[in-house]
Amino acid sequence: MKLWMTWFDAVAYLRPACTYSRTYLWMVLVLMGLCIRDDRAGVTSLVRVLGLVPGAYKRLLHLFHSSALDPDRLTGLWTAWCRTALPALMVGRYCVCLADGLKVAKEGRKMPAVKKLHQASSNNSKPDFIFGHSFQVVSLLVRTAAGHAAAVPMAARIHEGVVWSNRDQRTLLDKLVLLFMPLAAALRDPVILVADAYYASGKVIGPLLAAGHHLVTRVRKNTVAYHTAAAPQRRRRGRPRIYGKRVRLADLLHESEHFLSVASPVYGERNVTISYRCVDLRWRPVGCLVRFVLVRHPVRGSIMLLSTDVTMDPLDVITLYAYRYKIELGFRQALHVVGSYAYHFWMAAMTPLRRRTGNQYMHHKSEEYRRQVRTKLDAYHRHVQLGCIAQGLLQYLAISSSTTVWQLFRSWLRTMNPDQPPSELVVAHALRSSLPDFLAADPASSSLAKFLHRQIFARHRSANHARAA
């Protein structure tokens, strides 16, 4: 019961995102179901795992499509709570966020924003092309005192598939910045954003620097930078030169005499020695001085990293980029444990999509059609945002109540280690096993108790009456 009380105290912080108290109660039920369900068959899995009355199915569908639950307000409250309740990893005065894209397969021909997508991955379990939704996700990097790190998802939005105006020239990079800036404001701290080489662009770095944030990323092997031009001895006509001698970063990897050897600062590596070189050069995409850190790993090969903060320790740059894989691990948990992206909301009035289709152009459609598409996209975003919150709550319980979770696990894993924080799967099992005890006692509030009895226990009472008859 203590585990669920901690869970409800955290969820209560999200109450202002709901216009009505009844909307909040239904949102609590959805979060409960997302945290403990053992299958990912859409909304029906929430009804089954909580034992709700059959009529609750349409109520849950209505919640995801209701304007009474504001997804942007919900995202802001969740981000602020994460910064307060979770041990964010700090580098000086900066907290650290991770960003990446995620493509989710969807076969529905009447689902807005579904398009043919290319997956650039070296993993042979992924097909080169899929039909689905393209998300961009921002997570907060947290780390416990024992050194265990995790990426807590803060927000995920669909950024491809629908074009509202032929005058809209925004790219995925522009849309990521628009997603990130409100989150950074809710964190109330300057942020170091860690992302892969796709985001090493002036479109991302420029707005971040203007707002007081920084970017740590990887750059491609063909990257070129420049030394700062020497000041002329005598003033000449025209603008003074900014860029000096041209440098190919790949050539610097072969100058072994300039590399320093240190013990690897990468998370989880022991008895590994790496060599690195740090050089500050001007980079044309941003037009200013940036810090390049060239790393040679004895097993993983070479990599070239970039930091827009020229005062950052090179080892911190290496450490932060090594944490980037935590967001990939978070994607795996969201897909296979929580089911954050397991929605099946179709639009009945939508023109069926053809195979190999690309973007859907809304400026060719009527205003009513556009309104219905917006409503459906908001439903997707509400489901995914609630999935992000459910996953973050599981991670919060794993950090704050690790001992209690292992005591309530009541199952077995081949690789279980009670001395380490449990995974989201273990926390979900612990919540599921302790739910009957919690429901048998008084829940967090009287209004919630009445609501739960009406939606959950009504089914059991009707079943008992049927058996008695």
- The structural domain count of the chain equals 2
Lookup: tokens for 34: 């997302």
pLDDT computed for residue 463 by the predictor: 45
Give the confidence band of 132 by pLDDT, cuts at 50, 70, 90: very high
Whether 116 and 40 share a structural domain: yes
Give the confidence band of 445 by pLDDT, cuts at 50, 70, 90: low
Whether 316 and 333 share a structural domain: no
The identity of residue 268, as a single letter, is G
Cβ-count burial 435-452 (b if 16+ within 10 Å, e if not): beebbeeebbeeebeebb
Whether 44 and 33 share a structural domain: yes
Whether 92 and 187 share a structural domain: yes
pLDDT digits (tens, 9 = 90+) for 399-432: 999 999 999 998 888 888 888 899 999 999 999 9
Report the C-alpha gap between 448 and 445 in whole angstroms. 5
Instruction: Give the Å distances, CA to CA, from 14 to 35, 81, 83.
Output: 16, 9, 14
For the purposes of burial, counting CB atoms within 10 Å of the CB of 9, is it exposed (0-12), middle (13-18) or buried (19 or more)?
exposed
Give the confidence band of 462 by pLDDT, cuts at 50, 70, 90: very low
Question: Could you tell me the sign of the dihedral formed by the alpha carbons of 181, 184, 185, 190, in that order?
Answer: negative
Inter-residue contact 149 to 143 (CB < 8 Å) = yes
Domain boundary among 289, 323, 357: 323
Whether 46 and 185 share a structural domain: yes
Whether 32 and 166 share a structural domain: yes
For residue 139, give the DSSP letter.
Answer: E
Question: Could you tell me the sign of the dihedral formed by the alpha carbons of 196, 198, 202, 207, in that order?
Answer: negative
Inter-residue contact 122 to 111 (CB < 8 Å) = no
26 closest CA partner among 10, 14, 41, 39? 14
Whether 347 and 311 share a structural domain: no
- The boundaries of the domain holding residue 277 are 202-323
pLDDT computed for residue 133 by the predictor: 94
Whether 9 and 154 share a structural domain: yes
pLDDT digits (tens, 9 = 90+) for 330-365: 999 999 999 999 999 999 989 888 877 788 888 888
pTM: 0.93
pLDDT computed for residue 461 by the predictor: 47
Report the C-alpha gap between 255 and 274 in whole angstroms. 15
pLDDT digits (tens, 9 = 90+) for 359-370: 888 888 899 999
Whether 213 and 338 share a structural domain: no
For residue 447, give the DSSP letter.
Answer: H
Give the confidence band of 258 by pLDDT, cuts at 50, 70, 90: very high
Give the confidence band of 458 by pLDDT, cuts at 50, 70, 90: low
pLDDT digits (tens, 9 = 90+) for 196-246: 999 999 999 999 999 999 999 999 999 999 998 887 777 777 788 889 899
Say whether pLDDT at 18 is over 50: yes
Q: Could you give the residue ranges of the DSSP H alpha helices within 53-119?
A: 56-65, 71-85
Say whether pLDDT at 464 is over 50: no
Average pLDDT, the chain: 90
pLDDT computed for residue 99 by the predictor: 97
Domain boundary among 297, 323, 349: 323
- To the nearest 10°, report the CA torsion of 373, 374, 378, 380: 20
Whether 308 and 334 share a structural domain: no
pLDDT digits (tens, 9 = 90+) for 34-70: 999 989 999 999 999 988 888 899 999 999 999 999 9
Whether 125 and 15 share a structural domain: yes
Whether 117 and 21 share a structural domain: yes
Cβ-count burial 144-166 (b if 16+ within 10 Å, e if not): beeeebbbbbbbbbbbbbbeeee
For residue 365, give the DSSP letter.
Answer: S
Report the C-alpha gap between 33 and 464 in whole angstroms. 24
pLDDT computed for residue 439 by the predictor: 76
Give the confidence band of 317 by pLDDT, cuts at 50, 70, 90: very high
Domain boundary among 307, 323, 339: 323
